[in-house]
């Protein structure tokens, strides 16, 4: 049986919630988190990127920055 990252993340989160209490994320944050995992899976599946996708990538980074994410720190983790 093959399991996706999203499914694995959900299983781990459920186990952690059982052991340590409820989720620390708001429903909106959980939605974004799930969509991020879906996006990562889609990017892995698509293979090579296309320069025509640059605007879409910039939209994601701009939204993350507006949400308060420090992109420089994030880049260091990559």
pLDDT tens digit sequence for 1-40:
788 888 888 888 778 777 777 667 888 998 998 899 899 9
**pTM, full prediction:** 0.68
More confident residue, 46 or 33: 46
Residues 49-60, mean pLDDT to the nearest whole number = 96
What Å distances lie between residue 36 and 21, 39, 60, CA to CA? 23, 5, 10
If asked whether residues 71 and 57 sit together in one domain, one would say yes
Domain that holds residue 4: 1-47
Averaged pLDDT, 56-71: 95
Indicate the Cα dihedral angle 67, 57, 39, 63, nearest 10°.
Answer: 10
Please give the tally of structural domains in the chain: 2
**DSSP assignment string, 15-66:** HHHHHH-S-SS-HHHHHHHHHHHHHHHHHHHH-S--GGGHHHHHHHHHHHHH
> Are 58 and 30 found together in one domain?
no
């Amino acid at each position: 049986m093959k399991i996706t990252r999203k499914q694995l993340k959900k299983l781990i989160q459920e186990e952690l919630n059982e052991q340590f209490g409820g989720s620390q994320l708001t429903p909106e944050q959980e939605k974004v988190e799930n969509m991020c995992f879906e996006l990562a899976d889609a990017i892995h599946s698509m293979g090579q990127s296309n320069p025509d996708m640059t605007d879409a990538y910039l939209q994601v980074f701009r939204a993350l920055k507006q949400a308060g994410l420090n992109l420089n720190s994030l880049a260091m983790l990559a």
